[in-house]
Structure 1
Amino acid sequence: MSAIYTMPGHLIRRLQQISVSIFSEQMRSEGIDMTSPQFAALAILEEHPGIDQATLAGLIALDRPTIGGVIDRLAAKGLVARKVSETDRRAKQLALTPEGTAMVARMRPLVEATQSKVLDGLSADEQAQFTALAEKIARLHNDQSRAPLVMPKRKSAPPA
């Protein structure tokens, strides 16, 4: 048997393909035309309304050209609204429309079920271990990504 089948990079690529397939099938079965990155954008916009496209890209680890297409498609579906920033005329602030908010609420339980399906066959402890290790590797190598995850700056507490 070829060593490629046990190489982490090969396995990660295969798992990503499997995850996308499971997500796509789950959404298709519910009559929802949505990709995983589109859902991620909606979910983050629900948490951070009014952010700009570059900030959103960092929060979901997508490159700028990709986030542009994601937002264009979500806007065309009537799920995201864009408006020119009051502080930077070149930037557009993003927010969910009422339809976008409803879509996030509709999709959230489906997405959660999909995540469980991706890890079917693992015990609860194995699922937690897998997730913790995958998160650790992603965090350790974030700076090597062509689209690194950029977490929001924490607001400091006011002086006492």
Structure 2
Amino acid sequence: MLDTASVSPLETHLGYWLRFVSNQVSHAFRMRLQEQDTTVAEWVVLRDLYDREATAPSEVAERLGMTRGAITKLVDRLLAKDLLTRSATTLDRRYQALALTPKGRALVPALSAEADANDADFFGHLDPAARTVIESVLKDIVRRHGLRAVPVD
């Protein structure tokens, strides 16, 4: 006979509910961005570069907690879509700087509006105090565990 009394149900785990909501929020956002021919990871890189002057791929990787290899793949895709430029400096040809193209700069506000709409769809019903508590608790978990990698999937 199986002893099921010591096995907690899925629904008793906070992680289960976080993942349940997170999966739905992420999927909906992924679908919104797909309509703009953009992935979540591409959006994260574009948004990171939006407020910056030209910057090295290694700096982007560091800020986003991603590997240089992952950034290289994302940069290659964004270059192919004409959303980024990559240029070498005259002093050190090995140093490459990334910057948004005019097309990339114009796309970021539209993608940001999609992010805002997705947030509103899932969290717009919350009163500001509840939203503040949820955000504070989640940020505390991030700090407590030293989480750095930006969610891109």
RMSD, matched Cα: 2.5
Q: Tell me: CA distance 1:94–1:108, structure 2 relative to 1, closer, same or farther (3 Å).
A: same
Residue 18 of structure 1 corresponds to: 24
Structure 2 spans left out of the alignment, 5+ residues: 1-6
Report if the CA contact (8 A) 1:58-1:148 is conserved: no
Residue 152 of structure 1 corresponds to: none
Superimposed CA distance per residue, residues 115-152 of structure 1 (whole angstroms, 9 cap, x where no aligned partner)? 22232543322112111221221122226x5x489xxx
Tell me the TM-score normalized by structure 2: 0.79
Q: Aligned pair 1:5/2:11, yes or no?
A: yes
Find the aligned partners of 1:58 and 1:5 in 2 and give their Cα distance: 36
Q: Given the alignment, which residue of 130, 133, 136 partners 1:132?
A: 136
**Secondary structure in structure 2 of the residue aligned to 1:49:** coil
Find the aligned partners of 2:95 and 2:89 in 1 and give their Cα distance: 6
Greater C-alpha radius of gyration: 2
Q: Note the C-alpha offset of 1:87.
A: 5.2
Report if the CA contact (8 A) 2:65-2:150 is conserved: yes
Q: Note the C-alpha offset of 1:35.
A: 1.8
Structure 1 spans left out of the alignment, 5+ residues: 150-160
Q: Note the C-alpha offset of 1:86.
A: 4.4
**Secondary structure in structure 2 of the residue aligned to 1:114:** helix
Find the aligned partners of 1:13 and 1:65 in 2 and give their Cα distance: 27
Percent of aligned pairs with the same amino acid: 25
Q: Note the C-alpha offset of 1:65.
A: 2.4
Find the aligned partners of 1:81 and 1:20 in 2 and give their Cα distance: 28
Superimposed CA distance per residue, residues 36-81 of structure 1 (whole angstroms, 9 cap, x where no aligned partner)? 2211211111111211111112222323222222211111111011
Report if the CA contact (8 A) 1:22-1:118 is conserved: no
Aligned length: 145
